[in-house]
Structure 1
Amino acid sequence: MTRGPTRLDVAIGYALPRRGLPAATSFRKWSAAALAGRIREADLAIRIVDEDEGRALNRHYRGKDYATNVLSFPAELPEGLPEGVRLPLLGDLVICAPVVAREAAEQAKSLNAHYAHLTVHGVLHLLGWDHEDDKDAEAMEQLEREILAGLGIEDPYAGELR
């Protein structure tokens, strides 16, 4: 497995009881795996929320009135910095615990594996990856598979039809 960033600071916030949720160390490990070989320094925040907060954020920022599994908010460069200057601040992820639990059960996946997948997926969004068209989606999904395989997690897309 490729080494992670030289410096990684991941702040984890739980906006609901932590019972049954992955530990902060797991989110840090999954984030580091997604960043390995891609960035040297990174600061990001991950907030685990309930359905009400997830829905409110999705409605406010995306105009969609439902809670989704993960939202990515890339950091914007402060005004006045020259083009191309990168700060270690990547942005924020918001993961909606009830949606993740429901999806894991529906898809017969382990809860931890689904959290790992969504963390990796969200971090890749913070790095600029997207899945707006089929070509981009296939590239992003392949990268997710490789990162997750390095963590010992099975292909999250196995059995899905495109």
Structure 2
Amino acid sequence: MARPELRLSLQFADASHRAHLPRHKVARWIRAALKAPGEITVRIVGADEGQALNRDFRGKDYATNVLTFDYEHEPVVHADLILCAPVVEAEAKQQKITLEAHYAHLLVHGTLHAQGFDHEDDDEAREMEAHETAILAGLGYDDPYKR
């Protein structure tokens, strides 16, 4: 099955993981989760920018792994995905998984958020996690929720 068209902008404010995030892989991970054409910017940031964005837009004064800013779902998915490199690295080490696997998961997760998926309640969380797990399995990655 052909995947939807993707216009991808990949930005590195923190370039420490650039080698782990080649454009073709990032595009593959996002396309696997897209159900409609997409215009997505992925920005890899450091702890300071990650904390400022999380504080300013979510009212939470700490850096988090991924933030999704979705602007429209249809007919084109238009979103910014912000990933905080130090948080992603710390989580990957704690979970004993590769950076690649964790970035793949977080980009799939963020792309699903950009299409309206959420995990605010248990039913939503189960549905979203099932989608993530199936998409990641199709990409050759283990279930991120079976640790």
TM-score (norm 2): 0.94
Q: Note the alpha carbon deviations across 1:108-127, whole angstroms, 9 max, x for none.
A: 11110000000000000000
- Report the equivalent of 1:82: none
SS of 1:156's equivalent? Answer: coil
| Structure 1: unaligned runs, 5 residues or longer | 78-85
Alignment length (residue pairs): 146
Displacement of 1:23: 1.4
Hey, what's the Cα distance between the residues in 2 that align with 1:155 and 1:76? 28
- Report the equivalent of 1:93: 81
Q: Note the alpha carbon deviations across 1:28-61, whole angstroms, 9 max, x for none.
A: 11000011xx21x211111000000000000000
**Selected match of 2:90 from 96, 102, 106:** 102
17-26 or 96-105: bigger deviation: 17-26
Displacement of 1:89: 4.5
Displacement of 1:87: 4.5
SS of 1:61's equivalent? Answer: helix
Hey, what's the Cα distance between the residues in 1 that align with 2:96 and 2:79? 30
Hey, what's the Cα distance between the residues in 2 that align with 1:75 and 1:87? 12
Displacement of 1:90: 1.6
Equivalent runs, 1:1-12 vs 2, <5 Å:
2-5=1-4, 7-12=5-10
Hey, what's the Cα distance between the residues in 2 that align with 1:148 and 1:138? 15
Hey, what's the Cα distance between the residues in 2 that align with 1:21 and 1:53? 20
Hey, what's the Cα distance between the residues in 2 that align with 1:157 and 1:53? 27
Hey, what's the Cα distance between the residues in 2 that align with 1:20 and 1:129? 29
Hey, what's the Cα distance between the residues in 2 that align with 1:88 and 1:111? 29
**Selected match of 1:46 from 33, 42, 47:** 42
- Report the equivalent of 2:21: 22
Hey, what's the Cα distance between the residues in 1 that align with 2:2 and 2:100? 22
Q: Note the alpha carbon deviations across 1:98-157, whole angstroms, 9 max, x for none.
A: 100000000111110000000000000000000000010001000000000000000000
Displacement of 1:25: 1.7
57-66 or 68-77: bigger deviation: 68-77
Q: Which has the larger radius of gyration?
A: 1
**Selected match of 2:111 from 95, 105, 123:** 123
Percentage of matched positions with identical amino acids: 49
- Report the equivalent of 1:135: 123
**RMSD of equivalent CA atoms:** 1.4
- Report the equivalent of 1:66: 62
Q: Which has the higher helix share?
A: 2
TM-score (norm 1): 0.85
